[in-house]
Structure 1
Amino acid sequence: MAAIDSALVRVRRLAPDCFALVMATGIVSVAASEHGMPTVARCMFWLNLFLYVWLLALSALRLARFRNEVIADFINPSRGAGFLTLAAATCILGSQCVLVVPLPKLATWLAVAGAAQWLVLIYLFFAATITARIKPGFTRSINGGWLVAVVATQALATLLALLAGDRHVLWLFASLCLYLLGAALYLLIITLVVYRMVFFPLRAYQFSPPYWIDMGALAVTTLAGSLIVLQSPATGPLMALQPFVKGFTLFFWATASWWIPLLVILEIWRHGWRHVPLRYETDDWDIVFPIGMYSVGTYQLAQALDAPFLLPIPAAGVYASLLLWALVAAIGLRRLYRKSLGHRRLPHR
Structure 2
Amino acid sequence: MLSKRKVFLEKLTEDIYHLPPGYFALVMATGIVSIATHNLGFEKIAYLLFGINIIAYILLWGLNLGRFILYPRAVFADFLSYHTGPTFFTFPAASCVLGSQSILLANQIITGEILLVIGVMSWLGIMYGFFYGMAIIQKKLSLEEGLVGAWSLPIVATFSISITTTLVATNLVKIKEDLLFIALIFFLIGSVLYVFIISLMFYRFFSFVLIQ
TM over 0.5: yes
Aligned-partner Cα distance in 1 for 2:128–2:17: 25
Aligned-partner Cα distance in 2 for 1:92–1:5: 33
Residue 174 of structure 1 aligns with which residue? Answer: 182
Shift in Å at residue 11 of structure 1?
Answer: 0.8
Shift in Å at residue 113 of structure 1?
Answer: 1.0
Aligned-partner Cα distance in 1 for 2:201–2:10: 39
Matched residue of 1:11: which SS? helix
Shift in Å at residue 140 of structure 1?
Answer: 1.8
- List 4+ stretches of structure 1 deviating above 4 A: none
Unaligned runs of 5+ in 2: 1-5
- Which of 202, 205, 208 lines up with 2:210 in the alignment? 202
Is 1:118 aligned to 2:126, yes or no?
no
Aligned-partner Cα distance in 2 for 1:203–1:98: 44
Q: Partner letter of residue 197 of structure 1?
A: F
Aligned-partner Cα distance in 2 for 1:34–1:202: 38
Q: Contact conserved, 1:91 with 1:155, CA < 8 A, in 2?
A: yes
Per-residue CA deviation, residues 156-188 of structure 1 (Å, 9 max, x unaligned), is 000000111254110000001110110000000
Is 1:185 aligned to 2:193, yes or no?
yes
- Which of 61, 64, 67 lines up with 1:59 in the alignment? 64
Is 1:20 aligned to 2:28, yes or no?
no
Aligned-partner Cα distance in 2 for 1:138–1:201: 12
Q: Contact conserved, 1:78 with 1:140, CA < 8 A, in 2?
A: no
Aligned-partner Cα distance in 1 for 2:157–2:108: 21
Is 1:150 aligned to 2:140, yes or no?
no
Per-residue CA deviation, residues 123-163 of structure 1 (Å, 9 max, x unaligned), is 11100001101113222211121110010000000000011
Per-residue CA deviation, residues 234-277 of structure 1 (Å, 9 max, x unaligned), is xxxxxxxxxxxxxxxxxxxxxxxxxxxxxxxxxxxxxxxxxxxx
Count of residues in correspondence between the two structures? 204
RMSD of aligned residue pairs (Cα, Å): 1.1
- Which of 100, 114, 117 lines up with 1:95 in the alignment? 100
Unaligned runs of 5+ in 1: 205-349
Map 1:31-50 to 2 at 5 A. 31-50=36-55
Q: Contact conserved, 1:87 with 1:117, CA < 8 A, in 2?
A: yes
Residue 325 of structure 1 aligns with which residue? Answer: none
Aligned-partner Cα distance in 1 for 2:162–2:10: 41
Per-residue CA deviation, residues 264-313 of structure 1 (Å, 9 max, x unaligned), is xxxxxxxxxxxxxxxxxxxxxxxxxxxxxxxxxxxxxxxxxxxxxxxxxx
| Percent of matched pairs sharing the same residue | 33
Shift in Å at residue 98 of structure 1?
Answer: 1.3
